[in-house]
A and B are shown apart, each in its own frame.
Chain A
């Protein structure tokens, strides 16, 4: 069975005063039906840009330089904007944005804001009933829809936003740092909700976070992103048990753990995406850097059960 969503060689660049920033550079990922995949990386690695690219929401000075996105068998990246907007965006692929719990306007009730989404996209049924259904789907009492955003806690707002994303029954949900602003207890409740939605609705989820530990607890497969490129891709279990790329290893060591006496960091910082050095993008921070790393950029290749872009693996 072909994947539900397939991104191939996507390039999202930005024209900046300091030069061309290659925020997402030839990234390929796929998502199977009913799967939860994760995209992990630190800020500036391009993971949010990748998500916005899939939604075709890149605004100038950003632009899509190349690549293809297939939804089932249809190429959607080059569809006319009008068609994409009426057929795909929010209808088949919806997104919970980073910080979206603050994405509600404070002056309207939650119900009216969700109803607006339904109206704009031409929902046929009874909108009020749909809002109630959606609220129940995210384990909120329907009466909460009649409140204003400021009357909700952070977790409730996040649930309400997820409800809004689910309004038109999308097949793919992109969740960009959906729990970053929440406390840990609320975070676990939201993660449980996403797992429950996958089970009950069969929805496929792209989960984006900088927290690799959290990601390991929810995703089936993980992509590790660094400076605009995927550097490692494998089943979550394989990544956690046998990380291959030095960056993945360091990311895992940086996870704060109640049983550890220290937290490790990764010294150095990401290269300027407008002035990339020749060779591997991680060379400036890599503890195992070799001569070849400074000359040629490694490509993703299969090593055991993983795909990894690193010269350590030949």
Chain B
């Protein structure tokens, strides 16, 4: 599939949160720190990182749910106009084009709503008031995610986890978005459902040419859907490249550990300990240098003082590590 021009771009994006201040010492959490990425039309970008790495904050900022501290998010619409995305002055028409689905389908949709109403309401607010038109849009979205129409009369709480997540996807698709943030859409789901939902999203990406930021902490899940993968660690993108290269030739020690640590069907392993040369995350924020250096097995003098920039090592494959 050919990918078009950029649809979402972040330029030196920073999102900081201050915590404490009343009783404890004030501190700044740099949830997103100097992130510049481009997502192309029709592309799935996999954003992989552990909890607390800032991937959800980055996702929320790209659709205008979070005010950037510094830097910009730019959305290029299909007519070629560019819009700076900021919750303070985003318009309804642009909001429609940037959608999000959330991790937990049990809390992202009101369980006591009828399925039909859960879909009708956002359309109503978007200005679609004609009954026939509403019906048509809802049916089309249901077709896209493979839900039967007779569920429309049910209450949301009567749906299974997989059906709810499909409903969440349908609700986002109704708005005919250009860009979708899928925030850990399969994390809460069983192994049996995970594959089905990922395949759904893959199909939607292909049939609609929809750009997706696919957020996950599971690299193998990102691998099956993403064209490119970005690895995020404590607010920074530390590696970015084509999916195939990231999986076959991971460069950053953190990416390597992520691949190594992923469980495989391997009963021969039961008598051995896992080989992980990366230390467990502790709640210590490195004061200087590379953010990964307290856990890195290859740490050098330089890593403690200087922060490595994101550097292109092979075409399209970037890494932020002094080893390269």
Contacts and interface: CB of A to CB of B under 8 A. Distances in A.
Interface of A: 36, 42-43, 151-156, 181, 183-189, 191-192, 195-196, 210-214, 216-220, 235-237, 239-241, 250-252, 254-258, 260-267, 269
| B contacts with A: majority SS | helix
Contact of B267 (A184, A211, A236, A264): A236
A253 to B, nearest CB: 8
A254 B259 contact: no
B111 interface: no
A186 B224 contact: no
Contacts of B198: 263
Given A42-B191, A219-B270, A263-B198, A258 B217 contact: no
Contact of B223 (A152, A181, A258): A258
Given A258-B247, A263-B194, A155 B281 contact: yes
A153 B265 contact: no
B191 A154 contact: no
B80 interface: no
Nearest to A209: B263
B150 interface: no
Contacts of A36: 270
Nearest to B193: A265
Interface stretch (B7-15, B113-121, B272-280, B300-308): B272-280
A255 B265 CA distance: 8
Contacts of B267: 216-217, 235-237, 239-241
B282 A156 contact: yes
A269 B192 CA distance: 9
A250 B280 contact: no
Given A43-B190, A195-B273, A217-B269, A254 B217 contact: no
A185 B195 contact: no
Contacts of B294: none
Interface in B245-266: 247, 257-259, 261-266
B196 interface: yes
B4 interface: no
Contact of A266 (B50, B192, B220): B192
Q: Which residue, of A43, A153, A195, A263, has the highest number of chain B Cβ atoms within 10 A?
A: A263
Interface in B12-61: 50-51
A256 B257 contact: no
Interface string B193-228: 111111100000000000000000111110110000
Contacts of B51: 154, 181, 183
Interface of B: 50-51, 160-162, 190-199, 217-221, 223-224, 247, 257-259, 261-270, 273-274, 276, 278, 280-283
Contact of B262 (A154, A258, A265, A267): A258
Given A236-B270, A258-B259, 6 more contacts: A156-B282, A214-B263, A217-B274, A218-B269, A263-B199, A264-B195
Given A216-B265, A265-B193, A269-B162, A186 B270 contact: no
A114 to B, nearest CB: 20
A185 B278 CA distance: 7
Nearest to A42: B190
B194 A217 contact: no
Contacts of B191: 42, 210-212, 251, 254-255, 266
12 contacts: A43-B161, A183-B51, A184-B258, A185-B276, A195-B270, A216-B265, A216-B269, A218-B269, A239-B267, A256-B262, A263-B198, A265-B193
Given A192-B273, A258-B259, A213 B264 contact: yes
Contacts of B192: 42, 250-251, 254, 265-266
Contacts of A257: 220, 264-265
A218 B196 CA distance: 27
A82 to B, nearest CB: 38
B168 to A, nearest CB: 17
Q: Which 9 A-B pairs have the closest CB atoms?
A: A265-B196, A265-B195, A266-B192, A183-B50, A263-B195, A256-B220, A214-B263, A42-B190, A237-B267
Contact of A213 (B247, B258, B265, B274): B265
Contacts of B259: 258
Contacts of A241: 267
A254 B194 contact: yes
Contacts of A211: 191, 263
Nearest to A152: B283
B219 A258 contact: yes
A39 B172 CA distance: 37
A186 B267 CA distance: 20
A43 B162 CA distance: 12
Contacts of A263: 194-195, 198-199, 220-221, 224
Q: Which residue, of A220, A251, A256, A261, has the highest number of chain B Cβ atoms within 10 A?
A: A256
A288 to B, nearest CB: 17
A196 B274 CA distance: 11
B264 A185 contact: no
Given A151-B283, A210-B191, A217-B269, A185 B221 contact: no
B262 A184 contact: yes
Contacts of B247: 258
Contact of B274 (A151, A188, A269): A188
Given A218-B270, A263-B221, A155 B280 contact: yes
Given A153-B281, A184-B261, A265 B273 contact: no
